[in-house]
Structure 1
Amino acid sequence: MGIEIERKFTVKQLPKDLERYPYHVIEQGYLNVHPAVRVRREDNIYYMTYKESSMENEDPSQDGQSRLIGKVEYNMPLDKESYDHLVLKADGNMIRKKRYLIPLNSDGFDEAFFAGDPGIKKAVEEGKIKIELDIFDAPFEGTILAEVEFPSEEAARAYKPAKWFFEDVTGDVKYSNSHMSSVKL
């Protein structure tokens, strides 16, 4: 179990040399949306996830800074047979995407923040905090979103988005995978 603290962004342009970054091929289906219960195949790893929103959206006018969403998240490993059985029970749209793992932009935090939290500085320098760039396949082909998971709300609030990000859509339900799974196409 853990708390997921993340910010999500639309993308105005893809990073150069995208294929040089490692990636995962992901397929997931939702058995339930509220709370979110999904089954996922990430490459050749299978699991079921339960996500429950643990914080309400605050003021949506604050450009994402106070709309951070923390979610309690439980992951349970599955084998391929269990995944294949459960994914047939998924409602709505299947989500398929390629997730690139890109090092966090080096200008994501100012030196004053690093001085107050040297652990974050070390994590950034060692490449332990990543931008997860999701490029969706059909039926959401053309959708591109970037997410960054942070070790704390303070880090999430202090983060300065990469130049290739466009809009901060943190907390906007229409960009959540669980919502996309239930959209009528």
Structure 2
Amino acid sequence: MIEIERKFLVKTEAFKTEAYKQTRLVQGYLNSHKDRAVRVRLKDDSGFLTIKGASSYSGMSRFEWEKEISKHEAEALLNICEPGIIDKIRYEVKVKNHTFEIDEFFGNNQGLVVAEVELKSESESFEKPLWLGKEVTGDAKYYNSQLIKNPFKNW
């Protein structure tokens, strides 16, 4: 239940031609405290409830627990979330042995595009595609739970 990932800004839209899958995600937060976040997500016809803990010192690792719930349950929970909704399309791109998840944000976060790659350890190496930009791993302002409070349009 420990998630290890690195996060990067994206320089170009070249990833779109490499994507093998794209999914619309809508999510809100029941709790967005710095030590824990409780997220509700709609993904196609499914819902998910996710709890994330505080990040490690490196910003790469943190506790994550997720449970699938019905679309109806997710829609109901979104109605009682903190103000602010994350609306994005997630593109999945395979690069050698890793899958990059690239989020293109809409609404108050329009213009922000962030890529994440999940790893088995903090020291695991991976190939960086040409469209990958500056690393922002551990920078809390790029956490979705913070983007509802201080959206990209305000930067």
Q: TM-score surpassing 0.5?
A: yes
Aligned-residue offset at 1:25 = 0.8
Which secondary structure does the structure 2 equivalent of 1:139 belong to? Answer: helix
User: What code does the residue aligned with 2:123 have?
Assistant: E
Match of 1:138 among 91, 102, 107: 107
Which secondary structure does the structure 1 equivalent of 2:12 belong to? Answer: coil
Q: Does the CA contact (< 8 Å) of 2:15 and 2:93 recur in 1?
A: no
CA shift in 2, pair 1:80/1:173, >3 Å: same
TM-score computed with the length of structure 1 as normaliser: 0.75
TM-superposition CA deviations, 1:7-63 (whole Å, max 9, x none): 0000111226537521111000001012100100111110110001252x2xxxxxx
Q: Does the CA contact (< 8 Å) of 2:59 and 2:139 recur in 1?
A: no
Q: Does the CA contact (< 8 Å) of 1:24 and 1:42 recur in 2?
A: yes
Which secondary structure does the structure 1 equivalent of 2:93 belong to? Answer: strand
Q: Distance in 2 between matches of 1:169 and 1:21?
A: 24
CA shift in 2, pair 1:146/1:54, >3 Å: closer
Which secondary structure does the structure 1 equivalent of 2:76 belong to? Answer: helix
| Map of 1:114 onto structure 2 | none
Q: Distance in 1 between matches of 2:74 and 2:6?
A: 28
Q: Does 1:79 align with 2:70?
A: yes
Q: Does the CA contact (< 8 Å) of 2:24 and 2:88 recur in 1?
A: yes
Give the ranges of 4+ consecutive aligned residues of structure 1 lying more than 6 Å apart after TM superposition.
Answer: none
| Map of 2:61 onto structure 1 | 70
The gaps in structure 2 that reach 5 residues or longer are none
| Map of 2:147 onto structure 1 | 180
Q: Distance in 1 between matches of 2:103 and 2:144?
A: 11
TM-superposition CA deviations, 1:82-129 (whole Å, max 9, x none): 11111011112100110010012x4xxxxxxxxxxxxxxxxx1xxxx2
Query: In the comparison of the two structures, how many residue pairs are matched?
Result: 150
Q: Does the CA contact (< 8 Å) of 1:27 and 1:97 recur in 2?
A: yes
Aligned-residue sequence identity (percent) comes to 35
User: What code does the residue aligned with 1:69 have?
Assistant: M
TM-score computed with the length of structure 2 as normaliser: 0.88
Decide which moves more: 158-167 or 172-181.
158-167
TM-superposition CA deviations, 1:136-161 (whole Å, max 9, x none): 11121111001101112221xx3353
CA shift in 2, pair 1:16/1:32, >3 Å: closer
Structure with greater proportional helix content: 1
Q: Distance in 1 between matches of 2:81 and 2:110?
A: 20
Structure with greater proportional strand content: 2
Q: Does the CA contact (< 8 Å) of 1:9 and 1:146 recur in 2?
A: yes
Q: Distance in 2 between matches of 1:148 and 1:17?
A: 16
Q: Does 1:47 align with 2:14?
A: no
The gaps in structure 1 that reach 5 residues or longer are 58-66, 107-123
